[in-house]
Amino acid sequence: MPLLVTDYSWTQTESMVYINVPLKGAKAANVDILSTDKYLKVHFPPYLFEAFLFEPVDDQRSTAKVGNGAVVFSLPKRTNNVWEHLMVTTNDKEKKKEIRHEALLQHQDRLSSESRSKADKKQSEKKFTLETMMKLEEEEKEGIQKMKDAEREKTTAELAAWQGQKARAEEEARVRQSQTTAPREKQKDRRGRKQQAGLPAPRPSGNIHITFTPRVFPTALRESRVHEEEEWLKKQAEARQAGSTDPDELKELKDLAEEHRDPDWLKDKGDKYFAAGAYQSAVNAYSLGIRLNRRIPALFSNRAACHLKLRNFHKAIEDSSQALDLLTPPVAANAAARARASVRRGSAFCQLQLYAEGLQDYQTALRIEPHNEALKADMQKIRSIIQGPAANPGTKHL
């Protein structure tokens, strides 16, 4: 059975009631508060405070602040008058039970309403984002179409000019040919006379085809990366063919235009948003692409870069790790992508002051790009922080 709190205090004005409930050392996270227009409850085991209010209050404008070892209620009165008591003086248990039940129902209705409101707001924000992306895409398509029309007109004009030049050149060629026909006939007659005189005819011309033997540079089997390269190319091909198989997601995304269901198009759109500094819009574009295809590492790596800009460091670590899992086996074709994902995860670790973990990722990136001077400088800063100012006097922290 809970212990009732009786050492509370309260004050009032004609329009407000203030109640101070001591928490007796309880942490704010362990305090459960229920407030309606007629009933208040503060529960922090094993203590319980209940108030069956003397008159109804405006529950919509009421507030409760937890801090400094107490809960302070600020309750606007519905009617401006002075209360004789804080609580009703009745000892009718059934009536109090009924008030508790009504308060619980009101609280549940309020929670349901807030949940629906949040869901509606989230859905409207998602719809607004998609509509904005579609509008931008339409504007981009219109611009491209205008460029195509202009290029088509230019090409048509150039083709007409070229055809006119070609006709004039053909006419000039016919004139020249007619002018040189007579000298050629005379030359032919001279050749015939020379052959009749015993002179050899000129040798006929021809083409000689030459083929080269291909050079082979054998590589020791232990040094060959052919198997890993083939495996990486196979994974890339499979990733491009993969798609979402979740029925709920397919149903939700069926109303999108066909190009909006293309992960590559969404990646390019996210890249443009990122370049423009619209990091949350870029996150939305990459997230939609990931919902369509979770096997493209660039979507996760680029979203990690956005989370770094938005200071969502845990999410940046999660996306970078997912990208690194997809960038296997490690081959030359994905080396740059692996280096970028490692640096992004290392940066997020360092922002969370997990410098040892961050240093490991920077070392991984430097092994991939050993001549990257920026990486070397960042690693030296991280080592200085880990070793502390005593080991590196005069070194400034990141």
pLDDT at 313: 95
User: What was the pLDDT predicted at 170?
Assistant: 84
Mean pLDDT of the chain: 83
Query: Residue 240 — pLDDT band, cuts 50, 70, 90?
Result: confident
Binning pLDDT at 50, 70 and 90, where does residue 139 land?
confident
User: Which of 306-315's residues contact partners 24+ apart within 8 Å by CB, and which partners?
Assistant: 306/270, 306/274, 306/279, 306/280, 306/282, 307/283, 307/348, 308/344, 308/347, 308/348, 308/351, 309/279, 310/279, 310/280, 310/283, 311/351, 313/348, 313/351, 313/352, 314/348, 314/352
Tens digit of each residue's pLDDT (9 = 90 or more) over 263-322: 999 999 999 999 999 999 999 999 999 999 999 999 999 999 999 999 999 999 999 999
pTM: 0.43
The pLDDT tens digits of the residues spanning 19-73 come to 999 988 888 888 889 888 888 889 988 898 988 888 899 988 999 999 888 999 9
Question: What does the alpha-carbon distance between residue 19 and residue 76 come to, in Å, rounded to a whole number?
Answer: 12
Higher pLDDT, 343 or 241: 343
Nearest to 77 by CA among 11, 6, 8, 33: 11
88 pLDDT more than 60: yes
When pLDDT is cut at 50, 70 and 90, the band that residue 376 belongs to is very high
Task: With a cut of 70, say whether residue 182 has pLDDT above it.
Answer: no
Q: How far is CA 92 from CA 51, 98, 99, 220, 300, in A?
A: 14, 10, 11, 93, 62
pLDDT for the residue 186: 64
* 203/127 Cα distance (integer angstroms): 80
Distance CA(326)–CA(363), nearest Å, equals 20
Ordered structural domains, the chain, with CATH: 3-102 (2.60.40.790), 262-387 (1.25.40.10)
Reported as type and span, the H/E element at residue 374 is: helix 373-387
Residues 296 and 327: their CA atoms lie apart, in Å, by 9
* pLDDT grade for 218, boundaries at 50, 70 and 90: very low
Lowest mean pLDDT among 67-81, 95-109, 323-337: 95-109
